[in-house]
Structure formats: structure tokens, C-alpha cells
Amino acid sequence: MNAAWEELLAAWLESLRRRHLSPGTLAAAERWGAMFARLCDIHGAAPAAVEPSHLVALQRRLREEAGPGGRRYAPASIAQALQQVRNFVRWLVERRVLLIDPSAGWVLRRCVSSPGQVLTVAEVTALLQAPDTSVPLGLRDRAVLELLYGTGIRRGECCALDVQDVDLSHQVLCVRRGKGQRDRLLPIGETLGDVLNDWLQRGRPHLVRRDGETALFVSFLGRRLSAPAVVNLVRERAQQAGIEKLTPHALRRTFATHLVERGADVRHVQMLLGHQNVDTTQAYALVELAELRREYERTHPRAARTARKAPTSPFPS
């Protein structure tokens, strides 16, 4: 790859980093952008001379040639590659490196992939009942599972939570610096509130080993719970419940699916999930939270409190 392509690719990636995109998105942009730049370089095309034929050549290569490991590229990978390359090309047009957009009129067919694993309500119930809540680690695992299914947050967001992010008196969870570095407020269902309170009152104090620890969830060593630990936690508890190969993201998917199946407005589900295409609504989070809570309580299977009385919240109003 010649210096001109390297310089422009680096500048494009830096512009994406300033937008606080996820590491996965940045890695995909770098991978496919570099592939396209190398292909153009092989064809002798400078950045200012990219033509539609070079995009066609990329499509052909992705569909006909093998990728790393000798396997053909999956349809989802091809769709991701073409989208990232189009973004790169449009950035070149915005920077006036290209005077005419070679991707104009380029129709990208959306890849319809498998919806992935979604648990039934019965399977969720079995999963949540798997931990032994007579011991601190069981209380923690139950709280983590209830939180992932009860709010749909990402595993990284779960690990980053501090105790101060949970306001049980107002039944609100604050997810700080989620994907795209955006904050959002989420309603806490009554069942989830009870479980979190049990963890904070009866479990966490037995595991925290140093003053000033702010993490909501900690390991048996008293340190902030890591993302790999959450993956292992979910997998192990799922195996106890007779569920194979469960991941934290499957619980996020299950959360969204169950809401939609019960009539939740897709716009509300997108807000709860924190998807980027509705980030402008987060500026009105305090106004929207009441509406989100009503929709959440109406449609989430575990929004209602269980039969037992909720413990008194340790947090001041």
C-alpha cells in the first residue's frame, strides 16, 4: 500500500475514533478499509482515481476468494465489508480527495442473518433460579443475570456499573459511557430491584475487601467483575439450568425479543438498548423515562415484583 493510501486510511480511522465508536466497529473499519486500499493499489488506482470498477472488484473478491483460514467470507462479513468501504469512499468525497462518488447508486442488500439464540420465558425462569442465593456468589450471579435480562445492557456496561449508578428508591439505573460514550437512564423493574437490594445488603459486603471499592459487581477476590468473568458466569449458570452455549448477548437479545413480542414499541426498545440511531432522544431522558417505565412494566415478563415484600432500599432519596 503506497503512502497516500496509508495516510488517508489513518486519517479516516482517526476521525472514527473521535466519534467514540466501539472497538469492534473500529477494527472492522480498519480491516476492510485496508483491504480496499490494497486492492486499489494493486490495480494502480491512486485515492483520487477510484472508480466504480474498483468497488465491483472488491465485491467479486469477497464473494469468490477465500478469506483467512481458507474459508469463504460469510454473507454478514461481506455486508459489513461493503458498508465500511462505502463509508470510507464517502469520507474521501467529503474531504474532496474524490470529486465524484463512485459508490453513488451502489445498492447494498441488507444481510438477513439468523436471529440468534432467544430463550423462552420458561428457560429464563430456570436460568434465574439456578444460583444458590444462600451464599454471596449466588446472590451476585442472580443479580447479574436479572440485570442482563431485566435491562438488556451489554456485558461491558454491566461490568462498568458502580454502586452509585443504582437508585433503588427511584427504580432507576444509570448506564454511563455506554457504546459511543453515551449515558442513558433505564427503569428498574420491581423484581430486579428486589434482587439488586439483596445483593447489596447480603452479598456484596461479604466479597468487597477494600475500602472505597465502587464496583457494583465484584469477584470472589473483591475486585471489579471482568467481562470474561460475566461470560463464564452466564455459561455456567445456563448449564445448571440445562441451557447450552448461552452468552450475555443472548440475554440482551432475549430482553428485546420478549418486549417486542408483548407489544412494546420498537422505538422504546431501541432507547432501552441504547442504539445509536436514537441517541438524540437521550437528551430528553428525564422526560422520556416515565414513558419508558410504563412501556417496560407493561411488556417485560419480570417487571412486576414477586410475591414477597421488597426490602428497604439502602440508598437515600
Residues 6+ apart with CB under 8 A from 261: none
Residue from 252, 268, 293, 300 carrying the catalytic annotation: 252
Tell me how far apart the alpha carbons of residues 156 and 178 are, in angstroms, rounded to a whole number: 8
Residues 6+ apart with CB under 8 A from 133: 139, 142, 198
Count of C-beta atoms within a 10 Å radius of residue 127: 25
Q: Strand, coil or helix: what is 224?
A: strand
Amino acid at 41: D
Pair 162, 215: CB distance under 8 Å: yes
Residue from 54, 142, 154, 302 carrying the catalytic annotation: 154
Residue from 179, 258, 268, 302 carrying the catalytic annotation: 179
Kindly report the length of the chain.
317
Residue from 202, 206, 249, 305 carrying the catalytic annotation: 249
Residue from 20, 43, 177, 284 carrying the catalytic annotation: 284
Residues 121, 186, 177, 180, Cα dihedral to 10°: 70
How many angstroms separate the first and last alpha carbons of the chain?
Answer: 60
Q: Is 296 among the residues known to form the active site?
A: no
DSSP state of 65: S
The closest of 239, 260, 225, 208 to 147, measured between CA atoms, is: 225
Q: Is 284 among the residues known to form the active site?
A: yes
Q: Is 268 among the residues known to form the active site?
A: no
Residues 6+ apart with CB under 8 A from 78: 59, 62, 63, 111
Strands 172-175 and 166-167: antiparallel
Q: Is 38 among the residues known to form the active site?
A: no
So which residues are the catalytic ones?
Answer: 154, 179, 249, 252, 275, 284
